[in-house]
Structure 1
Amino acid sequence: MAVAIITGASKGLGRALAVALARQGWDLVLDARTASVLEESAREARAYGTRVVALPGDVTDAWHRAALVAGARELGGLDLLVSNASALGAEPLVRLEALPPAGLRAALETNVVAALGLVQEALPLLRASAAGTVIAVSSDAAAEAYETWGGYGASKAALDHLAAVLAVEEPGLRVWAVDPGDMRTDLYQAAVPVDDDSGRPLPESVVPGFLRLLAERPASGRYAAPELLGVEA
């Protein structure tokens, strides 16, 4: 049975992806900071008969990252690591002139440093898998210059580059940075609370793009979920 770790799995894209993988028979190790909401995700995934380990905690904590990998080991190994947990750096987002350095450090710590730390912890299990895969959830803000998205975008650009280098250093793995596109999520609402996001697609609508990657296993690289679905960005 395939095993996946998904961070930031209590809601939004992480939860939608967890449920979709559970539906396909994956066993899961799920992470989020809020235990009660994480347990709701785990309960929804377990409805499909899969084994689910829900571990509340903060991915910036090295002990917590080790516990996530230990949970996968207890399930039999690790085939997929999804780094989805994200921090904005400021809520709501602000222009660079007003971005607190501490906020930028927090975004980098969660979105980049913790993601690398989890990969380092998980590499022995990923290398042992016949289909070891890392998905770094990116953003179009990593490649485009949007006002107020500078700190968050910089952290996601750094994550993209780490993923690209990891792919070169670990040719036996698939390493994909995936831009899910615009979605209606709590993260986006916190970033731009004045926006009306009712017209934005739900996270569930982009999950088939991730599933296509897992099914077809193209070369390591950067992908956009809408393009994988044949949707014009």
Structure 2
Amino acid sequence: MTNTNATAKTLRDTRPVAVITGASRGLGLELARYLAGAGWRLVLTARGAEDLEKAVAEIDACAAVTALAGSVVDDDHRAELAHAAAELGGADLLINNASTLAGYDLKGDPMPTLAQFPLVGLLETFEVNVLGPLALTQLLLPQLRLKHGRIINISSDAAVEAYAGWGGYGASKAALDHASAILAQEEPDVTVWSVDPGDMRTKMHAEAFPGEDISDRPLPSAVVPAFRRLLDENPASGRFTAAGLLGQEA
């Protein structure tokens, strides 16, 4: 589905292009909403077509949005995303936001320990959280190099802290962090940031704490200013926390 506003101007449109995964809710949706308001053209994806359609409806009606439902672990879908960005003139920004906690529906169960983690679920966790983002990055790198573009890989404090029950998710995010750092060394024409947004009041976070009240966590919209600062100030590649970007850390 495509928001066709300003479609007639697409061939001459010089507005920057962002590709955002996991864009149907939470942080991905808030970042899409912000970038749309800032004049970016967007290529959005998420697994659920219905949720993605609702998300697009929430974004500024004047924004140019291409929405393609699918999974980042699907080869054909990644190719569709890269093609969509190329049709707009090439990606200036890739936000790898799509993630999974355990690779399967927890159904109200607590996060599995490593001793109990189903290997199929562990494989899916790494596919969604590490391999999918890297594979999409590979496809978009030719576009990003030409634009001296930027990549934001969404990380977590679980990548650096040892939390019981978060072994699969944390290990996958640690792998993504390290891959981000190496990619930054290998791609001098592209800026690569790994960003820990901190705890947020999201559906995924609620699934990690079944039955618990997480209303004390900030909404994803509260951390968007951190990403705005990152894009505005454009520091060198590296790992950042939203709290640090917001001046909330020493």
Q: TM-score, normalised by structure 2?
A: 0.90
Give yes or no for the alignment of 1:8 onto 2:25. no
Q: Amino acid of the residue matched to residue 94 of structure 2?
A: L
Give yes or no for the alignment of 1:71 onto 2:89. no
Query: Partners in 2 of 1:14 and 1:108 — Cα distance?
Result: 19
Whether contact under 8 Å (1:135, 1:176) holds in the other structure is yes
Query: Partners in 2 of 1:112 and 1:188 — Cα distance?
Result: 19
Give yes or no for the alignment of 1:159 onto 2:172. no
Whether contact under 8 Å (2:111, 2:208) holds in the other structure is yes
Whether contact under 8 Å (2:20, 2:94) holds in the other structure is yes
Shift of 1:98: 1.2
Structure 1 stretches of 5 or more lacking a match?
none
Whether contact under 8 Å (2:200, 2:219) holds in the other structure is yes
* Aligned mate of 2:193, from 176, 179, 200: 176
Q: What is the CA RMSD across the aligned residues, in angstroms?
A: 1.1
Aligned length: 231
Shift of 1:230: 1.2
| 2:8 paired residue number | none
* Aligned mate of 2:47, from 23, 26, 33: 33
Counterpart mapping for 1:53-64 below 5 A: 53-64=66-77
| Larger Rg, first or second structure (1 or 2) | 2
Higher mean C-alpha deviation, range 33-42 or range 112-121:
33-42
Structure 2 stretches of 5 or more lacking a match?
1-14
State the Cα deviation string for residues 94-146 of structure 1 (Å, max 9, x = none).
Answer: 2211111111111000000111100000011001114x001000000000001
Whether contact under 8 Å (2:37, 2:60) holds in the other structure is no
Whether contact under 8 Å (1:46, 1:52) holds in the other structure is no
Give yes or no for the alignment of 1:118 onto 2:145. no
Identity of aligned residues (%): 56
Q: TM-score, normalised by structure 1?
A: 0.96
Shift of 1:194: 2.7
Shift of 1:172: 1.2
- What is the SS of the residue equivalent to 2:215? coil
Higher mean C-alpha deviation, range 5-14 or range 33-42:
33-42
Shift of 1:195: 2.3
